[in-house]
């Protein structure tokens, strides 16, 4: 019996609403992970450049551990083992929230932050050492020099790789379906289970992910052409 395509079944009615709901969850968890990973990655990058050895060792261990272990394993780790490594007050708060969603955000955040930290560190190394020496000579502390002089310049340099990391967050967010987060991939899988029209459902999901990727790629190209050319090196 020949397979009959039914695009209206997937795109319209209740199942179309599932796609929209899943997309909203994907964008929400991605946005939270992007914001948190950028903040954490910046902190880790700065700690690695301090002269306090314990902080340097911690930042190196953090970066190497989370960059060299699979994201899926980390998702399961935070989902099944967060109660063992997080303070009790934090666990109580997480269980009052959507725990699966929170575990997914944590996993995506720490995983992406490890890569962002290296991107930021590369951006800092691209800035002449005389910049920080001059800022320290004016009386600024190390942290003040980083905040007001070094990091603003570094972020201008590393915007393209940062956007690539943010795009990876969106794509990697599909893995949180394994712990029950009802994102786009999860909803697509549900539609396939209910309708047995998996080709149509996953084609729509693929095109949505592709559209997000193209938008980000277009943004990067515009930035490269119009902004990076104006940055003196």
Flag residues of the chain having pLDDT under 50.
233
- The predicted pLDDT at position 84 comes to 76
Asked if 107 and 172 touch (Cβ cutoff 8 Å), the reply is no
Measured CA distances, 166 to 17, 24, 97, 159, 179 (Å): 26, 17, 25, 10, 21
- The predicted pLDDT at position 37 comes to 96
Residue entry with tokens 């190196």: 60
Which of 19, 8, 106 is CA-nearest to residue 66? 106
End-to-end CA distance of the chain: 65
Where exactly are the structural domains of the chain?
A: 7-230
Tokens at residue 176, please? 């949180």
- The predicted pLDDT at position 207 comes to 94
Question: Across the chain, how many H-helices and E-strands are there?
Answer: 12, 0
Give this prediction's pTM. Answer: 0.88
Asked if 157 and 121 touch (Cβ cutoff 8 Å), the reply is no
| Architecture of the domain made up of 7-230 | Orthogonal Bundle (1.10)
- The predicted pLDDT at position 40 comes to 96
């Amino acid at each position: 019996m020949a397979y009959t395509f039914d695009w209206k079944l997937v795109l319209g009615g209740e199942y179309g609403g599932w796609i929209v709901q899943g997309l909203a969850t994907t964008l929400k968890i991605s946005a939270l992970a992007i914001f948190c990973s950028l903040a954490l990655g910046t902190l880790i990058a700065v700690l690695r450049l301090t002269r306090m050895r314990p902080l340097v060792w911690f930042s190196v261990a953090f970066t190497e551990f989370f960059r060299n272990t699979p994201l899926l394993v980390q998702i399961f780790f935070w989902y099944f083992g967060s109660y063992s490594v997080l303070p009790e007050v934090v666990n109580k708060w997480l269980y009052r929230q959507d725990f699966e969603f929170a575990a997914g955000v944590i996993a995506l955040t720490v995983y992406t932050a490890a890569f962002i930290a290296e991107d930021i560190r590369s951006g800092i190394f691209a800035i002449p050492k005389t910049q920080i020496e001059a800022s320290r000579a004016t009386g600024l502390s190390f942290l003040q020099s980083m905040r007001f002089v070094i990091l603003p310049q570094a972020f201008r340099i590393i915007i393209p790789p940062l956007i690539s990391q943010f795009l990876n967050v969106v794509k990697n967010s599909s893995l949180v379906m394994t712990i029950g987060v009802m994102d786009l991939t999860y909803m697509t899988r549900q539609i396939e289970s209910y309708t047995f029209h998996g080709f149509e459902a996953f084609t729509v999901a693929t095109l949505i992910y592709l559209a997000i990727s193209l938008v980000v790629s277009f943004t990067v190209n515009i930035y490269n052409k119009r902004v990076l050319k104006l940055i003196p090196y």
